[in-house]
Amino acid sequence: MTSIKLGVLDLTPIFQSVTAQTALQQAVILAQTAESLGYTRYWVAEHHDMPQLASSCPEVLLAHIGAQTKQIRIGSGAVLLPYYKPYKVAEAFSLLATLYPGRVDLGIGRAPGGSAHATLALSERYLEQVRQMPALLKDLTALLTGQFQVEGELVTARPVPPIQPELWLLGTNMKSAGYAAQYGTGYVFGHFMSEQDGLAVLTAYRRQFQSSALNREPKAIAAVGVICAETTAEAERLLEDARSWAPAPMSSGGAADKPNQSRRVIVGNPELVKQQLSDLQSRYGTDEFIIVTTIPDYQKRIRSYELLAQAVRS
């Protein structure tokens, strides 16, 4: 297997009837464990009014995670940009990047991340804002590169960090890949929740990519569901547990819906998982995966990440 980097995408799940506070404490444990295992990134998702998920405000949780870790990159997977003004998002992540220089990723999505009523509670103009996604991305990239203006006057997202956050767009299809290419952002293909041909999507991103002040070359990550255990039989049993736990259906930008979650997940013992990731790496041409594991047992979830890290290093 060609050397790859691994990251963690944490949905901050509330397992086994624990409290949301316990789930957030487990997020810290996972981030610290990932750091000790050599994972490159730890990202948290944004969801709203989801009883089984604890993270509705990634920037708040990331501030806490950053204080409890030392070097792992911390980021959002993803902030749902249509709900917010780009200026406010840039301010929040500029503050994070000032607190934790060289460690912050700003992942952006355009999905609702919750029910129709939660969406209405957040914004009565959500669909209109989704249609404005190109303009929102344009403003956000201008803010991160110090070029944003209002009525001809420069407006800066402060504090200005020593190193700006890395900007990534998360998506599952050609449209999101096109946006990432047009604005020169990194792109994360949500393999674990997409029915699209990942190779075609990533090829389109690379082919259409326009060099920007953010990135001179395209940067791609695949977000992959993985369940790893000592034996494949045990991993398959854990997959059944994950199927029974899966949250209510959601669109892209955070968690997978129930059918997609079980269909696209890589399951097996360490060597089998390593081989499947190697095959996916060869197909997608990516040297980095961000891993989502939804085993509804915190210790077994940690063990899956441990076994995966050990397998990839061997």
Average pLDDT over residues 154-174: 98
**What domain range includes position 114?**
105-218
- Position 3 pLDDT exceeds 90: no
The answer to whether residues 164 and 208 belong to one domain is yes
Q: Count of domains in the chain? A: 2
- Position 125 pLDDT exceeds 80: yes
pTM of the model: 0.94
272 occurs within a structural domain: no
The pLDDT value given to residue 211:
97
The answer to whether residues 54 and 109 belong to one domain is no
Residues in the chain: 314
**Nearest-angstrom CA–CA distance, 232 and 98:** 44
The mean pLDDT value of the chain amounts to 94
The answer to whether residues 206 and 155 belong to one domain is yes
Is the CB of residue 88 less than 8 Å from the CB of residue 80?
no
73 occurs within a structural domain: yes
Residues 49-102 have pLDDT tens digits of 999 999 999 999 999 999 999 999 999 999 999 999 999 999 999 999 999 999
134 occurs within a structural domain: yes
209 occurs within a structural domain: yes
175 occurs within a structural domain: yes
Residues 33-44 have pLDDT tens digits of 999 999 999 999
Residues 265-305 have pLDDT tens digits of 999 999 999 999 999 999 999 989 999 999 999 999 999 99
88 occurs within a structural domain: no
Contact residues for 127 (Cβ-Cβ < 8 A; gap 6+): none
The answer to whether residues 311 and 206 belong to one domain is no
Average pLDDT over residues 1-27: 92
Average pLDDT over residues 195-210: 97
